[in-house]
Structure 1
Amino acid sequence: MRNQAVKIRIKPTVTRALVLMILIMAQLALVAFTIWTTSRVSIYLDAALSLVSLFVVLYIVKTRSDPSYKLTWSILILLMPIFGGLFYLLFGLQPSSRRRRRRMALLEATAKPYLKQDAAALASVSALRADFGRQARYLSKTAGFPVYGASDAEHLKSGEAQFERLQTELAKAERFIFLEYFIIDEGLMWNTILGILVEKAAKGVDVRVLYDGIGCLITLPPLYPAALERMGIACAVFNPASAVPSTILNNRDHRKLVIIDGSVAFTGGINLADEYINKVEKYGYWKDAAVVITGAAVDSLTIMFINMWNLQTKSSAEYQPFLNQRPTLTEGDVFVQPYADSPMDDESVGESVYMNIVNAARSYIYITTPYLIVDHTMMTAICLAAKSDIDVRIIAPRHWDKWYAHMATRSYYDELVAAGVKVYEYVDGFMHAKTFVSDDIVAVIGTTNLDYRSLFLHYECGTLLYGGRAVAGVKADFLTTLERCDPVTPGEYSPKTVAGRIFLQVLRLLSPLL
């Protein structure tokens, strides 16, 4: 059963996505038609909508959002004063649902007693370097996720490596298996994993699957949760797609998590689809990265999953039965700090972690990212590091999955190269790994891209590593990958025409919305 594909559906098409888009556009068109055909009141409606737009701009200015995000929306609304404000209220408003915010805050408060910081582990990290202590304290105090000593981590350099290791660990499961993914698609990878899940569920293992409603919109059918339930697998869809416009649709669950028995966990950039293990070629070789964590640090990832499960299902699953009650590892020279980032608060945890690494670097910073669409603060920090004689290298993809995001990424190259940053493009395929490594002692492997959606709108997670083989693995993988990259030279991707330069500037202006 384990190695056999489990097929429970006919492959869906893009029909559902197109229908959803048509319904939304039809509603907006109806509003416009009503306004412009009601001539006797159109003047008053124009004035009222323009006033709404003005108040929306004033609201945007006073929010705690990223300045670039605020500037982009303000310009768009002022250019379209009649519908701009309404468009922002429907698609750009970041606070989403106040009820959901309150619910998430309550869940985090409930979990807090299970995320206590061990003073010895924090002191050990601070002893490595003072700035590491500040980073660890920031995540523990502000984000609520402690650093652990009785843990270990291993860097996995590809989807193929994770797939092989994941099958091995799933086969050992005795109590529970939790999976949380942005994308799941039928094929060799998912069907093989599903076969193991079905087998384990039949033996009484608590198996739960949580996937994103937009990420899986065209890969899984609407009744997929019911099909999994019939197999003994509990399933929930996070923020399902809806024809009713909602700001909640902006906030996607971009995390990739597997937790097994509270003792081992996987996270990183790898979704459950065949392109991630290079069984299906979309953009050349798919280069990715993940981390497998063992020991006490798995508790943080378990709590992340339970919080998201409780948020979406409105249930109240307890934490204690799923925590690692008997860690088998003792504190060594490896310290692991998993963390979550949520759009339901005003703290940009993912960006802050990256910024702290950049600002603390003494020798080098190596970065891999599929997108490089950053705000002024991050751009300034990266450039300042290079200007301060830090060896800053960034690998982005040569082959792209979204042309507009790729063009926006390239619009940052000249400024970075001029500051002394060494920028490379991975020529063999698509670079999808999200990693930072610095000074042979600190690294991050996670789900957070260097773009506005990941940094400010999505639910993300990452693992901060201090010392150990995983940090060395991230660096070694970066240097090996560098051999398959071309360096970016000054002006190489600059537009040659006036129209091209104007278009790129407009795209750069709109980049917070990409």
Structure 2
Amino acid sequence: MKKLFRLLSSRAFLVGTPILLQAFVMVMVIWKFSNYFVYVYTILALLSVVAVLRILTGKSNPAYKIAWIIPIMLFPIFGGLFYLLLGGSNSSKRTKRKMHEIEERMKQSLGQNEAVIREIELQDRSAANQSRYIENYSYCPVYKNTTSEYLSPGEVMFERLLQKLKKAERYIFLEYFIIEEGVMWNSILDILVAKVQQGVDVRVLYDDVGSLLTLPYGYDKQLEKMGIKCSAVNRFVPILSLRLNNRDHRKIAVIDGYTAFTGGINLADEYINKYEKHGQWKDSAILIQGDAVWSFTVMFLSLWNYQRKTEEDYERYRPLPEHAQFFVTDGYVQPFSDSPLDDESVGENVYLNLINEAERYVYINSPYLILDSEMMTALCSAAKRSVDVRIVTPHIPDKWFVHAVTRANYDALVGSGVKIYEYTPGFNHAKSFAVDDELGVVGTINLDYRSLFLHFECGVWLYQTQSVLEVKEDFLQTLEQCRLVTLEDCRAVKWYIRLGRMVLRAFAPLM
């Protein structure tokens, strides 16, 4: 009885029920007017034609277009209507205009030191070109005077985060996709409350959809009562709408302007293996200290101003000059962000540049392999030109249908020479690239359509840093706990499983 009460009073049930009712009412209205079938069918068929034309003339990924066109053509009565409600981007012109204002603020607050990019150019023009692309389209420059440290698994990151939070003197900015009450978050919250009492400016952003099942309704108000400034991003409204698509998937912690964390780790207990959710949880993050942290500070403040409708002076949050002496140059570090509202797939292009320019090896951690044709071609082509391409994926999935699509891609990849390893102890949630001992990326961006095209994401591009070698070393150690997927394994899959995966793969962009 208690379980039933918890279910009926849960936020997921309270907000999910209205959505189901709306879908039911929509179907019933159409059925009610079935006596006028010809007229209703004609109107809905025209809506489907409009939807298909809108899809074909849009700028979205071709695979995403196909995934919507198939159900529309199969179910013309409902398909077009549901696409117009749920497909593509629901961002209004007003929202996009506001986001454009945020981009302009970022441009004004961030600027490339040309001497730094010229240094890279003298060493490797290809690396310099990659860096210039990131600066041109995410407005985030590349920096020196920065150290970086790769942290894996989540338990290591958690320990380092607590250490840094306890040292905060001016401000703490936290932005996370998921926050859940438990050992991890409660330990952090205790520090945040103590810091507020010391006069530290503490702010928290969390994605309302991402935390739908993990936080109670109005949790931001609870934190405000504790003195912590807080906003829920992309606040969930129980209306049939594609607002759910553009989630804030970023994970950012900024402390006093000279320390920052990002990576795959959310603030919930499964990320530090305090309880077993999908076997052993493998994850990663990166700690950066020094000049490059400024980009993360600006990213956070830009979204904060958008959420709170404020116009704060970013310069107030510059790190104090005396902190600069503690950080030496460890290669080149370039944080970057990716927005789904600017028609530029920064995250995917950063990954493609790394793969296409690799000469010796590409080592990739990703929980999902839901690949479009460009990414599939790049990986296969790299392997065919004798680049050692290795990818670690989970053995125990978090979502069976997504894992089925991941495995559906094994055949083509393995057949082209890409080595796929499944992390047998459990779920690999890390998102990292290491290339040729020179280049790397650690961040929040999965190899799936949602991360690459629909979510707000972030990462750190690395060149000639010690952390690139740390990513590589951790990757090679992880392989010792992995099972290599062979071509025989792919071909031994039963025909009906293969058929099911083919169907799921066709709709993969919608997952």
Indicate the TM-score class for this superposition, using the shorter chain for normalisation: over 0.9
TM-fit CA distance, 1:82? 1.3
User: Which residue, out of 387, 393, 411, partners 1:396?
Assistant: 393
TM-fit CA distance, 1:166? 0.8
Task: Give unmatched runs, 5+ long, in structure 1.
Answer: 1-9
TM-fit CA distance, 1:38? 2.1
Distance 1:158 1:126 in 2: 34
Amino acid at match of 2:65: K
1:306 aligns with 2:273: no
Q: Which has the higher helix share?
A: 2
Distance 1:223 1:433 in 2: 30
Amino acid at match of 1:464: W
Cα 1:429–1:330 shift into 2, 3 Å: closer
TM-fit CA distance, 1:188? 1.1
**SS state at 2:507 partner:** helix
Cα 1:42–1:310 shift into 2, 3 Å: farther
Matched length: 505
Q: Deviations over 1:266-296 (max 9, x none)?
A: 0000111111111111112111110011111
Q: Deviations over 1:149-202 (max 9, x none)?
A: 121111111111111111111111111100000111111111111000000001
Preserved contact between residue 151 and residue 329 of structure 1 (Cα < 8 Å): no
The within-5 A match list for 1:237-248 is 237-248=232-243
Counterpart of 1:471 in structure 2 is 468
Amino acid at match of 1:64: K
The within-5 A match list for 1:195-274 is 195-274=190-269
Deviates more, 1:275-284 or 1:254-263: 275-284
Cα 1:189–1:12 shift into 2, 3 Å: farther
Counterpart of 1:315 in structure 2 is 310
Cα 1:291–1:496 shift into 2, 3 Å: closer
Distance 2:329 2:32 in 1: 73
1:295 aligns with 2:282: no
Distance 1:339 1:420 in 2: 31
Distance 1:268 1:125 in 2: 25
Counterpart of 2:500 in structure 1 is 503
1:382 aligns with 2:379: yes
User: Which residue, out of 154, 171, 178, partners 1:183?
Assistant: 178
Distance 2:500 2:395 in 1: 20
Amino acid at match of 1:455: L
**SS state at 1:492 partner:** helix
1:126 aligns with 2:113: no
Q: Deviations over 1:412-440 (max 9, x none)?
A: 11111110011100111110100000000
Counterpart of 2:356 in structure 1 is 359
TM-score normalised by length of structure 1:
0.95
**SS state at 1:503 partner:** helix
Task: Give unmatched runs, 5+ long, in structure 2.
Answer: none
TM-fit CA distance, 1:312? 2.1
**SS state at 2:434 partner:** strand
Q: Deviations over 1:484-503 (max 9, x none)?
A: 11100114145744433321
Distance 2:328 2:195 in 1: 32
TM-score normalised by length of structure 2:
0.96
Preserved contact between residue 172 and residue 202 of structure 2 (Cα < 8 Å): yes
Amino acid at match of 2:108: P
Q: Deviations over 1:19-54 (max 9, x none)?
A: 333211211221221122124533212111111111
- Identity percentage over the alignment? 50
Alignment root-mean-square deviation, CA: 1.7
Q: Deviations over 1:216-246 (max 9, x none)?
A: 1111111211111111001100112211122
User: Which residue, out of 152, 156, 163, partners 1:161?
Assistant: 156
Cα 1:452–1:227 shift into 2, 3 Å: same
Q: Deviations over 1:244-267 (max 9, x none)?
A: 122221111111110001010000
Amino acid at match of 2:405: A
User: Which residue, out of 50, 56, 59, partners 2:54?
Assistant: 59
Preserved contact between residue 408 and residue 498 of structure 2 (Cα < 8 Å): no
